Amino acid sequence: MKTRAWLLLFAICVSLRAVPMQVVSSGYGSGDAYVTCVIDGVKERCFLDTGSPLTIVPNSKRYASYTNLGAFHFKSAADIAQEIETIRVGAIEVDGTVFPRVKVGRANFHGAENTLGIDLLGQQPFAIRFKPKPTLELNAGRPERTFATLEVSKQGLLAIPIEVGGSEVRALWDTGVSITSVDQGFVAAHPENFKAMNRYANGFDGAGKPMFLQIFRAKKISIAGRAFEDVRVVAADLSVLRDHSNQDIQAVIGFNLIRKGDWFFDTKSRVWSFQR
């Protein structure tokens, strides 16, 4: 009886380790997710962005004294070459996991904020759940049913197969994108699967550059056998993603689809799971 009670207590403690996510909702069922990070002993509100290969802090007074270690070069979704300074912080703690001596970007572009990237999230299995409450769990246990079709780019970005209409495509999984995106060439080649709306999405890419994209209604998108109908998507030029990764990306799963279920990823074992 004592052993059974101890095991039950251990299971409860493990389940309580997940850190709450704050979801800031926006139009078309989209939104942004935030978690609490402790950066060099200070609690910070961090934007959860699995599409960012680098964890980022803003170029604010707090980080001004950190030594510049050099530039991190990348291209924005608008295909504009960018660079940000890099610094090293003493430690970042998330969900009880401590990452020591982390090299992060110190960004000064429009809207720059504390951002938790895939460079830290992908170091261990992690789960993002929305039921009963939104949570992030690092070192998460593997679900019973997983798929061995996870691709991880050289930058650490995650891609999985999905079906758009009746076509299977590779899709980047990106919590930093509010509305799911489909390559504009794919939309043009499959007009039967998309209906243009007389609406456009205004926003900024990962480098703070403004973007203006037309919104479509995708008839059906399927993930792990679960079908979603009349999904709002934007048509975008995703050639930059294809040019700078080892994946043939035709779509980006954004937050309006991500929040419809619970997810698990293990980058080392290349497995993932989705449960609606």
Tens digits of residue pLDDT in 198-240: 877 765 554 455 566 899 999 999 999 999 999 999 999 998 8
How far is 238 from 97, CA to CA, in rounded Å? 34
Q: What is the CATH number of the domain that holds 127?
A: 2.40.70.10
The whole-number pLDDT of residue 241 equals 81
Number of domains in the chain: 2
The whole-number pLDDT of residue 262 equals 98
Distance spanning both ends of the chain, measured CA to CA = 36
The whole-number pLDDT of residue 244 equals 66
Final residue in a domain of this structure, among 138, 164, 189 = 138
How far is 166 from 129, CA to CA, in rounded Å? 28
**Residues of the chain under the 70 pLDDT cut:** 1-17, 74-81, 202-212, 244-247
User: Length of the chain in residues, anyone?
Assistant: 276
Q: Is residue 103 part of a domain?
A: yes
Task: Based on the fold, state whether residues 95 and 60 are members of the same structural domain.
Answer: yes
Q: Is residue 84 part of a domain?
A: yes
Task: Based on the fold, state whether residues 99 and 155 are members of the same structural domain.
Answer: no
The whole-number pLDDT of residue 212 equals 61
Task: Based on the fold, state whether residues 156 and 76 are members of the same structural domain.
Answer: no
Task: Based on the fold, state whether residues 163 and 209 are members of the same structural domain.
Answer: yes
The whole-number pLDDT of residue 5 equals 34
Q: Is 156 helix (H, G, I), strand (E, B) or coil?
A: coil
Q: Is residue 266 part of a domain?
A: yes
How far is 193 from 272, CA to CA, in rounded Å? 27
Show the tokens assigned to 11.
């299971």
Which residues are CB-contacts of 96 (< 8 A; sequence separation ≥ 6)?
17, 138
The whole-number pLDDT of residue 226 equals 96
Tens digits of residue pLDDT in 163-192: 999 899 999 999 999 999 999 999 999 999
Bridge-partner residues for 234, per DSSP? 181, 215
**Domain coverage including residue 63:** 18-138
Task: Based on the fold, state whether residues 127 and 157 are members of the same structural domain.
Answer: no
